[in-house]
Amino acid sequence: MLPQSLRGRRAALVGYGRAHRALALRLAAEGAQVFAFDQSEEAAARAREDGREGSFGAGYLEALRALRPEFAFLTPGMRKDLPALAALGADGTVLTSETAYFFARRRRPVLGITGSAGKTTTTTLVGRMLARQGIAAAVCGNIGRPLSEALGDEQQIELYVAEFSSFQLLQASPEIAGLLNIRPNHLDIHPSFEDYAESKWRIARFQGEEGVLVLHAALLASAPPLRGRVECFDAGAPADACVAAGDIVLHGRRVLPVAELRLAGRHNVENALAAALLASAAGAEESAIAEELRSFQGVAHRLELVAVQGGVRYVNDSIATAPDRALAAFDALEGPFVWLAGGYDKHLDYHELARSAKDVRFACLFGPVGKTLLPLLDAQGIAAQLFDGFDAAVEAAARAAQPGDTVLLSPAAASYDAFRNFEERGERFRQLVLARTSA
């Protein structure tokens, strides 16, 4: 637990990205002594710009322990089982997070959303549905805007709509929680799939009887004991939000035809159902929900049509950082595909993805996961080539594409081998494509 004030306390931020920069401002405003620690030189430059003391580079964890801070706020994606952190905790430092700080300081209800896929689309939809209803909400968290920054909106809002990753869910739960799905992901950080799944269920673990949990009906069979009200969505079976006779149905009432959705793919129908339930639980009426579902065109880097030239469609699905996301792209779009895939290895299984790539005419692969996919695709008789770098793969895909093809960036892997995040990878794809198609 965090005290009501950290005035005069030594607080270390382990990792100094956007979220921790925002947190540093909040902590400093409370009167805490704030120090920054990170292994990257880019973070060191940010700290110098902000006037933060600390340590950077290879020995930053040793310097952290030497400081003996009273509180250490760990960046979400950091392994929590590092010996240096265990030693720090043994020395008496409280290991905590921005999420814990947020829940300790917020004074408005939280609608929180997690899952292996679909979090950002669903969170964005809920925020927009509530806005249409006239409900003021701060959309924040893993979606891009730091939780601690959103605390500054408290006087102007009625609730928070927050996206949470598995790394952010610790010892608190939102009043309204959404669990979209649980599929293998981030096994480079979590020691097992079971640990990863347990981290996702934490979004409801600390709810009281007044809480609401929205989840996919398929997850009920594996659910731990739940205390609040449970509402389910399922595109393929009767549920609180479902599809019946071609219509999206919410609590037994028709909302709109599925055909009126502007989002492609069954997975986005599921996202729409989840968003409708969550927004309804927060006070949105069916008319506001339907209006938003009719108009919403999606979020950047998620099946985003970048250009069409010479009968070739170029689609940016850089958000696909795991195999199931690429599978969803194959299901949502029409082939044949010239497929761009590869990137940082999160220790996931790619056999099913390779078996399902039947509409891929040619695969342009890159990075460590590209090396993994090459023999798997070869075993399926799918033409594939490994390229030295992302740009070379995109150039080769454009050369190989024929009228009627879709050049699909759906990497099935994280971007950290070559980019800071999937957004930067998607932007680079967009740049390369538009440079070609506008020439």
Question: Catalytic: which of 142, 181, 185, 268?
Answer: 142
The C-alpha atoms of residue 229 and residue 212 are separated, in whole angstroms, by 5
CB 112 within 8 A of CB 173: yes
Distance CA 433, CA 53 (A): 42
Query: Is position 119 annotated as part of the catalytic site?
Result: yes
* Backbone CA torsion sign across 14, 15, 17, 19: negative
> What is the DSSP-derived secondary structure letter of residue 221?
G
Give the pair of three-digit tokens for residue 284: 């949105």
Query: Contact at 8 Å (CB) between 228 and 204?
Result: yes
For the sheet with 337-342, list strands across it: 304-309, 312-316, 406-409, 337-342, 360-366, 384-386
Helix, strand, or coil here: 219?
helix
**Is 186 one of the annotated active-site residues of the chain?**
yes
Q: Identify the DSSP state of 76.
A: T
Residue 288: which H helix or E strand, with range? helix 286-295
Q: Are 193 and 187 in contact (CB under 8 A)?
A: yes
Q: Which of 20, 119, 200, 301 is the catalytic position?
A: 119
d(CA 402, CA 428): 22
What is the spatial distance between Cα 270 and Cα 201, in angstroms, rounded to a whole number? 19
- List phi, psi (to 5°) of 241: -130, 125
List the catalytic residue out of 20, 181, 185, 186: 186
For residue 279, give the nearest of 404, 150, 68, 125 by alpha carbon: 125
Report the alpha-carbon angle 305-311-314, nearest 5: 25
How far apart CA 136 and CA 259 sit, in angstroms, is: 29
Q: What is the rounded distance in angstroms from the CA atom of residue 284 to the CA atom of residue 268?
A: 20
From 173, 172, 192, 174, select the one nearest 182 (Cα to Cα): 192
Cα first-last separation, the chain: 58
Number of neighbouring beta carbons within 10 Å of residue 36: 25
Non-local (6+) Cβ contacts of 233 within 8 A are: 214, 215, 216, 217, 239, 240, 241, 242, 270, 273, 274, 276, 277
Token readout for 332 is 């949502």
Residues marked as catalytic: 119, 142, 186
